[in-house]
Chains A and B, each alone.
Chain A
Amino acid sequence: MSLHNRPELKSEYGNYIGGKFVAAADGHTFDVVTPIDGSVITKVPRSNAKDVNAAIDAAHAAFATWKNSSVTERSNMLLKIADIVEENHHYLAAVETLDNGKSIRETIHADIALVIDHFRYFAGVIRAEEGTVSELDATTVSVNIKEPIGVVAQIIPWNFPLLMAAWKIAPALAAGNCVIVKPAEQTPAGICVFMELVGHLIPDGVLNIVHGFGPEAGKPLAQSSRVHKVAFTGETTTGRLIMQYASENLNPVTMELGGKSPNVFFKSVMDADDEFLNKAIEGAVMFALNQGEVCTCPSRILVHEDIYEPFMAKVIERTNAIKMGNPFDEGTMMGAQASEDQYNKILNYIDIGKEEGAEVLCGGASADLGGDLGTGYYIQPTILKGHNKMRVFQEEIFGPVTAVTTFKTVEEALEIANDTLYGLGAGVWTRDAHEAYQVPRAIEAGRVWVNCYHAYPAHAPFGGYKQSGFGRETHLMMLNHYRQNKNMLVSYDKNALGFF
């Protein structure tokens, strides 16, 4: 397997405001650390309200003309962005690996591949969209035209830094908005390199990036009465806080707040030792994808009790075969957790799981990879066995940890699957056609994968039920979260109503 080079970054990047890289108004920066070995890889601005306001000014100035840009112009711009990302596919993947710590095979085949696809998808769908016209009576016509909502604030998480940015930026630009992005402070490097590559394709002020810490830069952005919509991916307390700010401005918001996704394996999965069983085992081990730092991490495995022993034996065997190591090696399956605080949080959860009586089926500790990686944040893929009331079954650990329990009937499986505060993702694995339809319909989650898991193609809407939030990304549905509807009600009658 090939070893990719660690990419060279500039010693410092600026915010991207009004089409230029600029330093923070107060000149402050902060170090960006790679979780691969804990070393400093670059610096970015430590922005505050002054920088946020400069970005909002730039966005408003640009919106005056950008709001009238043609669909063709916007679509072509998104296609060109996709082309440049594609030309730099492996370079951006390496930057993303350096920034976040995940393995290069995932940044190549998932993160960056999907970034390209999402820009092309939104470039495509807006060319095929049409408004509506209704003739309400012989002389009255109702015309619906979609208009951009204006200046949009987007707060991006650190688990898929560029992909989550693309999920938000592509539909917002496609809809004709101007955007201010606040990247996560753990992973700001990827979008700096992205803007270096594609900035010239975008009119000045249409897409602005402001780096910094949540309370200093994110808060004034989310609070501003001069933004017209806020999109957020993160956790529930900050989600509530952003909604409180939005309520003061009467602004719409969309929220993606995570989950505790059940991955349900019915008895028929073990009916044959074939390709499908092999796929189902991989489906259970998907909890280790992206080191478990996925909002839809299948962090609860529900297995029919009749197949528990043979099925889990295979799942454990496959989990123990996960190769950890240098994230730049294409043979590495699992890299580093994104930051030291996450690393400590995950280890605390493993401890509380043990204390609550969960049995450690595999893993259960940090991983010391030695050498240069000895200072990085690595955790062994871990499977805990217990019951659904345990905290490790109820809280998003955001690490390579899954918790397994058994069920006897379909009804019991549904009861456990839905006994959670969240409803973002779920998996259902069965060879039974009835179960394959009825169980997903009964699970309270916005995305139910049936006989697959962790696929995120553009064109399939993604979003949560319950405390997982609202809004549907990765689909043209998202366009309407970034738009207003203008209704023109036109009379073709020359005569007065006769009231006055």
Chain B
Amino acid sequence: MNRVDFTPAAKELMDELKTFHGPIMFHQSGGCCDGSSPMCFALDDFKVGEVDVFLGTVDGAPFYMSSSQYEYWKHTHLTLDVTPGRGSSFSIEIPTGKRFLIKSRLLTHDEIENLPEAPRGKQH
């Protein structure tokens, strides 16, 4: 059981990005414009801090979110998916004309009981 899963379309896009950029990572954004979208970077291009929590990996890529935002998200399960469209931001998939997005569903009571707490700080 993972806090974050991914769709086949997300895997396909991740594979495409890895051939250009090498290992990749995700950080879930908040706020204006493209906020609330996941941001994809070459691994370690974004510096994860103690303020972030590690939600798990998606096809080997670590997925982080700021701990303050996580407080409002932790009861939901996330699925990394892809939509056509042009985002802004520095997320590396933007030139492909596709954009990662997050689909969410509520975790069940049992799932919440069984999921370990997401650790803080860099875990990769």
Contacts and interface: CB of A to CB of B under 8 A. Distances in A.
Most interface-central of A46, A256, A398 (chain B CB within 10 A)? A398
Nearest to B52: A240
10 contacts: A234-B33, A234-B89, A235-B29, A236-B30, A237-B27, A257-B35, A258-B31, A340-B85, A341-B85, A421-B68
Interface stretch (A51-59, A348-356, A435-443): A348-356
Contacts of B102: 348
Given A219-B90, A352-B76, A391-B73, A398 B32 contact: yes
Contact of B103 (A157, A293, A348): A348
A186 interface: yes
A339 interface: yes
Most interface-central of B37, B84, B90 (chain A CB within 10 A)? B90
A253 B6 CA distance: 35
A27 B88 CA distance: 21
Given A344-B101, A349-B36, 13 more contacts: A46-B95, A158-B88, A215-B90, A215-B91, A235-B29, A235-B31, A235-B34, A237-B30, A244-B47, A340-B86, A341-B83, A355-B104, A396-B30
A367 to B, nearest CB: 18
Contacts of A241: 39, 41, 45-46, 90
B91 A214 contact: yes
B35 A258 contact: yes
A355 B75 CA distance: 12
A184 B34 CA distance: 11
B63 to A, nearest CB: 12
Interface residues of B, number: 41
B21 to A, nearest CB: 9
A68 B53 CA distance: 49
B90 A218 contact: yes
Contact of B32 (A213, A216, A295, A339): A295
A339 B87 contact: yes
Given A233-B32, A396-B35, A467-B30, A157 B88 contact: yes
B69 to A, nearest CB: 7
A341 B86 contact: yes
A295 B36 CA distance: 13
Most interface-central of B28, B31, B69, B83 (chain A CB within 10 A)? B31
Nearest to A164: B33
